Structure formats: C-alpha cells, structure tokens
Amino acid sequence: MSYHVNEKGFYGKFGGAYIPEMLYPNVEELRQNYLRIIQEPDFQEELQALLKDYVGRPTPLYFAPRLSEKYNTKVYLKREDLNHTGAHKINNTIGQVLLAKRLGKKRIIAETGAGQHGVATATVCALMGLECIVYMGEIDIERQAPNVARMKMLGAQVVPATSGSKTLKDATNEAIRDWINNPENTYYIIGSVVGPHPYPDMVARFQAVISEEIRAQLLEKEGTELPTYVVACVGGGSNAAGAFYHYLDESEVQLIAVEAAGKGVDSGESAATSILGKDGIIHGSRTLLMQTEDGQVTEPYSISAGLDYPGVGPLHAHLFESKRARFESATDEEALQAVLELTRLEGIIPALESAHALAVLDRLNAKPEDVVVINLSGRGDKDLSTYLKHFHFDEK
C-alpha cells in the first residue's frame, strides 16, 4: 500500500484536481514545476536558511516529565508553538512564497478563516516584498479582529467576502475567482493539505520538516528514530501530515489523528469529518467531507477555529480508509481540560487546536516504555480570550 501521491495526484481513490476549466492553466503550471523547483539546490539553500534563522527551526522535541508521570508513559512534545508567528503554518507559507518567486509571480493571494493562515501569508509577503491580498468572510473579519489587525499591519489587503454564509467557503470562492482573472502574475497560497493536486502533496512536503526533525531528535534522546505513537490534531491536516510524513511507511509507528468533536460527535455540532464524512468533492479534490443526504456540505462546528473545516485533505481520507492512521476525536470540553492540564503541568499554554491532540493521551493505553510524540501545532496566545471566558480566572 502506498501512502504517497501517485502521478495522477491521487492517494488511493482520494485527491485529484476537480477544478473549473478556467483554473486549469494555473494549476497545471504549478503541477509541472513544483517538484523540479523544490529540489533545486539554491531553492533548498534559501529555504533551509530561512527555516533556521527566520522561523527558528529546528523546533525542540521536549520530554514532558510531569505529563509523562501522569500518564505513566514517555511523552514528548514537538514544539511547533515556538515557530515565528506561533504555529506550524509558516513552514508552508515560507516554502510556497519561495516557489512563487521562482515562478516569477509578483502578487500573492490567500483565503483565511480564523486568520492564522492569513497572518502566516502576510508575514512571508512582507519578508519578500510581495503584494498580498487575503480574502476573508465578512463574519470572520468581525470574529477575528486581532488577526485582521496583524495582517493589515504587515501590509496585506484584507478583502471581505460578502456572499453566502460570509465565512471560509465564500472567501475561497473569491480567491479562486481572483486567480482565474489574474493567471499570469498571481500565486495562490493554500494553507493546508487540501485543494487540487499538487497542493496537498506540496504542502505535505513543506510540513514534512516536522517529522524529519523528530526522527533525528528521537534518535539522540531515545536511541531510536521510531516512536510508538505520533499524535496530531487534524483540521485540513497539514500539521498532522508533517508529523506523520517520514513515518508513513514505518508500519510499527502508530499514527493517531485527532479531529474536533465539537459538542459531541453525534450532537450535530462537530467537525469530526472522517468519522461523519462521506466521499465527495470539496475545494478541488475528492475526499471525505461532512454533507447532507443530497450532497450539500454541512456547516462544521468546533470551539477551535483552526479545526472548523468540513473536509480533510485527501491523504488523511486515504489514511482513514486504509486504517493506516487511527482517527480519534476530542470535544470542546475535553480540549479545554487538556489546555489547563498542559499549562499547569508543564508551563506551556497550547493553542486550542493542539489541545485536541493532547486530549486523547488517556485513550492511547500507552505502556510505560512506549514513546508518545504529540505535535504541539501552536501556542495559545490567540486563544486567551476563550480561555479567560471559559475558566473564569477573574472569579477565582
């Protein structure tokens, strides 16, 4: 069984490029060039230098002693929260902006829901001196004011999507319309392992630095590159794809993907895509997505804005169907408890998204000699108002 993309852009039966004809030239230009450019020595040299000195890589692999003691196993945290801008997303935007430059593009577009990908994109555009336009649903602009302020401060133009539900889906439609109208000078940076081929593969390759580093760091700390478990949360699936990538073909390493159950998998308010989803097409690829009987995409829900997505990338749909990865889910409440637990046991305030991965520690049945690596995808600064509201610190 292969877990890598084939020449046609598929992972098993998932993936592909189901796009309008007018988008074909743009996607085809990328498909024909991405592997060649990424493999060029001067591209790699520039990428590695920026990952080191700008992003702050390698991120530490931290042995968490008090968390380990509590769960009676060896828990390591891959500290993506320590990256510049506070999460793993910059690994991908740095890679894609360098690719855009090599393709001679002068204008960068992106869409964003919670604003995290928008900020990571605006950041690398400032770094490279490129024009940046971020499409964002009108409602999300209101909900995510601090990230909108960051993007504007970085010099990006934030364009509200005012149609439909005025959220991520509508922002995506606007971005695609822009790209169709500006095929020559514009590059579209997608923020997760979603979208038409070659995006899922390209984003997975840029995030794969996470598992490349884990292997080397575990060898040093445990005398083996292979942990018993790798655990990561899944929205679109990019941090999980990065954490899993160099372990996909190591069958003894158990891969655990954690989705957001929201108010409960069966509550009607959740984002547990693989468990609830059916085969369908979203954002240009065939994958598992939450939909009604007649194929309308269901509005997802999670307290965590980064996991609030109705699909998963095609790689994850394939990992689910082939049972290579085990899919778990954590509710809002479980994630919040995990936030407080990590904060109080290790002095690390995690992002709400990452806390979903932490929340399944007690379900792994890990043995004392097992090694559990949890990908800590981001830091909790952006979620502080949620934490304050939920934990009522002002009353204690």
Interface residues with ligand PLP (CB under 6 A)? Answer: 87, 89, 116, 192, 233-239, 306-307, 351, 353-354, 377-378
Nearest residue (CB) to ligand PLP, 73 versus 115 = 115
* The pairing of beta strand 61-63 with beta strand 325-331: unpaired
Nearest residue (CB) to ligand PLP, 50 versus 232 = 232
| Catalytic position from the list 68, 74, 80, 111 | 111
- Identify whether 89 is a catalytic site residue: yes
Cα separation, 244 vs 266, in Å, equals 28
Nearest residue (CB) to ligand PLP, 227 versus 242 = 242
Note the helical H segments in the chain: 24-39, 41-50, 65-71, 89-102, 116-128, 138-143, 145-153, 168-181, 199-207, 209-222, 238-244, 273-276, 314-321, 332-346, 352-358, 384-391
Termini Cα distance of the chain: 54
User: From the CA atom positions of the chain, what is the Rg in Å?
Assistant: 20
Residue 193 Cβ vs ligand PLP, minimum distance, rounded to whole Å: 6
CB-CB contact of 109 with 181 (8 Å): no
Nearest residue (CB) to ligand PLP, 116 versus 274 = 116
Residue 294 Cβ vs ligand PLP, minimum distance, rounded to whole Å: 27
Q: % helix / strand / coil in the chain, to the nearest 5? A: 50, 20, 30
Nearest residue (CB) to ligand PLP, 137 versus 236 = 236
CB-CB contact of 46 with 127 (8 Å): no
Q: 107 has which bridge partners?
A: 131, 186
CA 334 to centroid of chain Cα atoms? 20
| Catalytic position from the list 74, 89, 105, 166 | 89
Cα separation, 195 vs 301, in Å, equals 21
| Residue nearest ligand PLP (C-beta atom) | 378
Cα separation, 151 vs 55, in Å, equals 18
Residue 82 Cβ vs ligand PLP, minimum distance, rounded to whole Å: 12
CB-CB contact of 59 with 356 (8 Å): no
Residue 299 Cβ vs ligand PLP, minimum distance, rounded to whole Å: 18
For 59, phi then psi, to 5°, come to: -75, 150
Cα separation, 147 vs 389, in Å, equals 19
Cα separation, 293 vs 280, in Å, equals 11
Burial (CB count within 10 angstroms: exposed 0-12, middle 13-18, buried 19+), residue 273:
buried
Cα separation, 192 vs 175, in Å, equals 15
Nearest residue (CB) to ligand PLP, 16 versus 378 = 378
Nearest residue (CB) to ligand PLP, 227 versus 378 = 378
| Catalytic position from the list 101, 341, 377, 382 | 377
Q: Which residues are part of the catalytic machinery?
A: 89, 111, 377
